[in-house]
């Protein structure tokens, strides 16, 4: 991921997840948040999703959360896709139906991923697919969780 200097406040957002539960970025203040903008039709998005789940699972019990924001798709399509991924995501998958958060973050293409620190600031970003289940990523997260 590329550092963002200076860190900037993360745009606020509130969406329903695929279980119908309302999720807001603000409810995770005090945790490090990985926000991933993606879509089921995007091959690099599909390729990185299992690695994001492995990273999330490896950080269980730590002040870390993943929020995956699907861009403009029907809930039925997103829900069906989730059942095809192995391992299946256990982090919240939100429906950014009109790409409102994507516009607020300045997303130019997907997948795009932003790392938000415990104070709610965007401190790193990545455009394009990545292997998030890596020692470098875990070290970055551990540093941000201190």
Tell me which CATH homologous superfamily contains domain 37-145.
Glutaredoxin (3.40.30.10)
Question: So what's the pLDDT on residue 84?
Answer: 86
pLDDT tens digits for range 13-24: 999 999 999 999
DSSP letters of 47-112? HHHHHHHHHHHHTTTSSEEEEEEEES--HHHHHHHHTTSSSPP-S-EEEETT-HHHHHHT--SSSE
C-alpha to C-alpha distances, 66 to 88, 89, 91, 113, nearest whole angstrom: 14, 10, 6, 10
Q: Is 44 left (phi over 0), alpha (psi -120 to 50) or beta?
A: alpha
Q: Could you tell me the pTM of the whole model?
A: 0.95
Question: So what's the pLDDT on residue 82?
Answer: 86
pLDDT tens digits for range 75-117: 999 988 988 887 788 999 999 999 999 999 999 999 999 999 9
Nearest of 63, 28, 68 to residue 141 by alpha carbon: 63
pLDDT tens digits for range 6-51: 999 999 999 999 999 999 999 999 999 999 999 999 999 999 999 9
For residues 97 and 100, give the distance between their C-alpha atoms in angstroms, rounded to a whole number. Answer: 8
């Amino acid at each position: 991921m590329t550092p963002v200097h200076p860190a900037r406040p993360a745009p606020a957002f509130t969406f329903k997840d695929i279980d119908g539960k309302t999720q807001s970025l603000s409810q995770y203040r005090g945790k490090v948040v990985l926000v991933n903008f993606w879509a089921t039709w995007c091959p690099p998005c599909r390729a990185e999703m299992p690695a994001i789940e492995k990273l999330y699972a490896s950080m269980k019990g730590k002040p870390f959360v993943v929020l995956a924001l699907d861009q403009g798709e029907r809930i039925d399509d997103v829900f069906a896709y989730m059942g095809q991924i192995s391992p299946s995501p256990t982090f919240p998958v939100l429906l950014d139906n009109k790409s409102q958060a994507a516009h607020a973050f300045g997303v130019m293409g997907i997948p795009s991923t932003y790392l938000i620190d415990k104070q709610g600031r965007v401190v790193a970003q990545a455009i394009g697919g990545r292997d998030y289940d890596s020692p470098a990523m875990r070290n970055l997260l551990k540093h941000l969780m201190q």
